[in-house]
Structure 1
């Protein structure tokens, strides 16, 4: 199978030249366009998640030999979570080459975090099957390099950090309310308000997933709490 120009360009961005490009095509094929002769990427996603996990675990283990499990676990979770995989996928232009059904394309599938994250993991599995673990490891370490270099001691997501802060201060978990939604269905803009039981609150508004805007609101409130405002 000879890949088209868009797939060859994607290979260059990945930094891996597939000997079996059909593996990459499968990794980029979403269930909305799959058929009996064109399997989707779900099985590859399952494998890629494990390949990514092993590479990240080993990289973190080697990077800080004094860190204990309690320090390594949140760093690991930050590096392999769906939002991170989706961000890496955007950086390499994965959405541009995703194979989607018409309805998924019209609903903005090329920009959805879940689809991008799943496809990114599937692509990593395709590299692993094409050329082995070392080839997959090299690609992962290069694409995740800046995140590995800047990983924080406590990289919990903002919603988790805010919930733990509330519990530590004897409060119930914070509540999140969608106060507005605008824009087209394929590119919605959410306005989210997060509140603590003592009345302190923060807002965030932006395009993306509802969860990502909730994270922004939580981060804003956490910053205020840490600064005593």
Structure 2
């Protein structure tokens, strides 16, 4: 079964809108796990507009499932993960002012930089994952660098899914087969939802983990968090 990691950035966005501690981010993380989430994901950005660095330290103390930290590996970010030692770090090429992740790494163009980052993560005993698109040569480069996993950027799939789901998933299915043949573990994330997740999971049996935040937290406003997590997990059962 593919694991579900809940990205709680949007909960922090809501909290930060008014100050204080409502909603309580730590309690939401506990509840996500209690309701069946198999991981918690956060993506701290330099401006701390949602997840704050302090949140990451506090979450590390209470998360009992897999803790995944996403982000652009700036020196400040790397100091954070060295101290926190999450189970997984997902490297994302976000500009500091990016609204949301909108592309994967060009691995060859950043080979030396990523190689140094991966070496540090491996030394610290943290599983590494590189955020990438579906280009097969790019996956070859990622494998040569020694990352343990890649995370497929799925916004192109989500955008095309309503028009032609088979065409939408085809490059991802090819990438999944290729990544697995290279010995890479496979994650996915960005704009996956209750509408498109089941089909994606069915077509990519190699999928180890999905990280979902915006759609899941939005659905929870209508369905409640427990029912929402139940439905997302049901989409991942094969």
TM normalised by structure 1 equals: 0.24
TM normalised by structure 2 equals: 0.23
Higher strand share: 2
Max Rg structure: 1
Higher helix share: 1
